[in-house]
Amino acid sequence: MQPPGYASLPTFTLTSGTLSSIIPAPFNGGVKQYNSTIVEQGQELRFLASVQPEGNVGLSEGYLVTVDGETEGWTVCRGVLGSEVLRWRGGVGCGVVYVHAVRWAPY
């Protein structure tokens, strides 16, 4: 597994509406599987190192990431700590984006 940084992207699998990725946990916690939580309006895309119920994430046309089958609604917003975060229907001050899956990094 490549350490985080330039030229490294986490890989995800999509099963039963849940995105999953196996990555190093913080504070030398070893390698863990992180699973997306249910995506809700106004909420950040979140991942927890625990089993999650069947999710609502999918793919349209094989590459556009959807929520409940809808491709339009992803936004990039300023997070609580000042960094940019991905939110579903984030609202005022957020920029509209489309999220797409790729098989390989585009660089």
Is residue 28 domain-resident?
Answer: yes
User: Do the domain assignments include residue 6?
Assistant: no
Q: Residue 6's pLDDT is what? A: 54
Q: What is the pLDDT of residue 9?
A: 72
102, part of any domain: no
- State the pTM of this model: 0.84
Total domains present in the chain: 1
On whether residue 26 sits in a domain, the answer given is yes
Flag whether 101 is in a domain: no
Residue 83 CA to residue 9 CA, distance in Å, equals 18
Task: Decide if 19 is inside a domain.
Answer: yes
In a domain, 46, yes or no: yes
What was the pLDDT predicted at 3? Answer: 52
| Domain-embedded: residue 20 | yes
Q: Give the DSSP letter of residue 54.
A: -
pLDDT of residue 80: 87
Q: Which pLDDT score is estimated for 7?
A: 57
Core vs surface per residue 79-101: b (16+ CB within 10 A) or e: eeeeeebbbbbbeeebeeeebee
For each of the chain's 107 residues, which pLDDT tens digit applies? 555 555 567 789 999 999 999 988 888 889 999 999 999 999 999 999 999 999 999 999 999 999 999 999 999 999 888 899 999 999 899 999 999 988 776 66
Domain boundaries, position 67: 13-96
